[in-house]
Amino acid sequence: MKSPILDYLNELLDTCAPDASAKNADYIPELARVSPDIFAIAFATIDGKIYAAGDDRFEFTIQSISKPFIYAMAIEQRGLDEVMERIGVEPSGEAFNELSLEAGSKRPLNPMINAGAITAHSLIGEPDDSKETRVARVLKGLSAFAGHDLRIDTEVAESEWSAAHRNMAIGHMLRSYDILPEDPDVIVRGYVEQCAVVVTTRDLAIMATTLAGGGLHPVTGEQVVSQRTARHVMSVMLSCGMYDAAGDWLTAVGIPAKSGVGGGILGALPGQVGLATFSPPLDPHGTSARGVDVFERLSEDMDMHLM
């Protein structure tokens, strides 16, 4: 299929050069094995048209890009007030794997950092639920956003679990403050499996479009979450989705977004489009370096900045 949009996406793939200082994540050993040259862009409109270029069907793990979706599910299940008792909505200004708890309440500052996401994972179940119950909900929820059944890459999950000391430490701190009522091993293990859900760049664009369209899936027609929840989640993505680079992102790109250490970036422009890129080498914030480049170009060329 030939179209000016596809020509433009292919031109972006050709002109956004690799950054020699960027490297694949290696604290999850399996992620270091993914080819750094894989590169894809996808773009989906809220009326269900999808444009994609490059390795757009290559499968990779969602990692932190799962966080806004699981947070949305927690809000739908528990209500916003109950979720807000456990997780704040303030930018942390710190790396994704810092503890970043609010003074006093000890709530994680926001749901996009690991501490907040581990807490959101806890909130999609009841305290007595098994790891399997929560992970089944994760798969069901993420699949509804994608519009087809997703699966877990068990090798990536095992690989992360074998070195999950930092997330375990965060889980135990949260348990000690009663932010997590459950066994932190069960919650962190489930969170690690959540991060190992397999997606393509096309899937991410469609998932983003579901948020951008107020929770309505552009292809299946399912109202996956309420419009209010989608608006709340995109607001938190805008202020916190890029961790300690949130201000740079907001000024340069101006699109609610979330990155993952697998190399994906997802952006949701409310009422308009969902966007996604994939390129594994990361910048110092744990975000795909080439992906940032593409989003800056897209925002500028297509006038997508919210301001």
Contact call for residue 71 and ligand DON (CB under 6 A):
no
Contact call for residue 167 and ligand DON (CB under 6 A):
yes
Residue 234: CB atoms within 10 Å: 25
Residue 58: CB atoms within 10 Å: 17
Which residue in the set 274, 280, 286, 291 belongs to the binding site for ligand DON (CB under 6 A)? 286
Task: State the number of binding residues for ligand DON (CB under 6 A).
Answer: 13
The reply, when asked if residue 24 is annotated as ligand binding, is: no
- From the CB of 95, what's the least distance to ligand DON, in Å? 9
- From the CB of 2, what's the least distance to ligand DON, in Å? 35
Which of 236, 243, 292, 299 does the annotation list as catalytic? 243
Which residue in the set 96, 249, 278, 295 belongs to the binding site for ligand DON (CB under 6 A)? 96
Rounded to an integer, what distance in angstroms lies between the CA atom of residue 29 and that of residue 242? 23
In terms of DSSP bridges, do strands 40-45 and 60-61 run parallel, antiparallel, or are they unpaired? unpaired
Confirm if 259 and 242 have CB atoms less than 8 A apart. yes
| Per-residue x/- track, 128-157, ligand DON (CB under 6 A) | ------------------------------
Say whether 191 is catalytic: yes
Contact call for residue 287 and ligand DON (CB under 6 A):
yes
Say whether 67 is catalytic: yes
The reply, when asked if residue 97 is annotated as ligand binding, is: no
Rounded to an integer, what distance in angstroms lies between the CA atom of residue 86 and that of residue 203? 30
- Between 9 and 24, CB nearer to ligand DON: 24
Site for ligand DON in 212-271 (CB under 6 A): 259-261
Contact call for residue 280 and ligand DON (CB under 6 A):
no
| Per-residue x/- track, 9-48, ligand DON (CB under 6 A) | ----------------------------------------
Contact call for residue 97 and ligand DON (CB under 6 A):
yes
Q: In the block, which residue shows the tokens 């983003």?
A: 208
Q: How far is Cα of residue 135 from the mean position of the Cα atoms in its chain?
A: 16
Residue 38: exposed, middle, or buried by beta-carbon count in 10 A (0-12, 13-18, 19+)?
middle
Contact call for residue 160 and ligand DON (CB under 6 A):
yes
DSSP-derived letter for residue 245 is: G
What are the contacts of 177-183 at 24+ separation with CB within 8 A?
A: 177/101, 177/106, 179/86, 179/101, 179/106, 179/107, 179/108, 179/119, 180/118, 180/119, 180/122, 181/122, 181/127, 182/122, 182/127
Residue 164: CB atoms within 10 Å: 20
Say whether 243 is catalytic: yes
Say whether 235 is catalytic: no
Q: What is the full DSSP assignment across 8-46?
A: HHHHHHHHSPPPTT-B---SSGGGGGS-TT--EEEEEET
The reply, when asked if residue 177 is annotated as ligand binding, is: no
Say whether 64 is catalytic: yes
Q: Which two tokens stand for residue 157?
A: 């999950």
Binding-site residues from annotation for substrate: 64, 114, 160, 167, 191, 243, 261
Residues at the contact surface with ligand DON, assessed by CB under 6 A: 63-64, 96-97, 114, 160, 167, 195, 259-261, 286-287
Q: Which residues carry out catalysis?
A: 64, 67, 191, 243, 261
Binding-site residues from annotation: 64, 114, 160, 167, 191, 243, 261
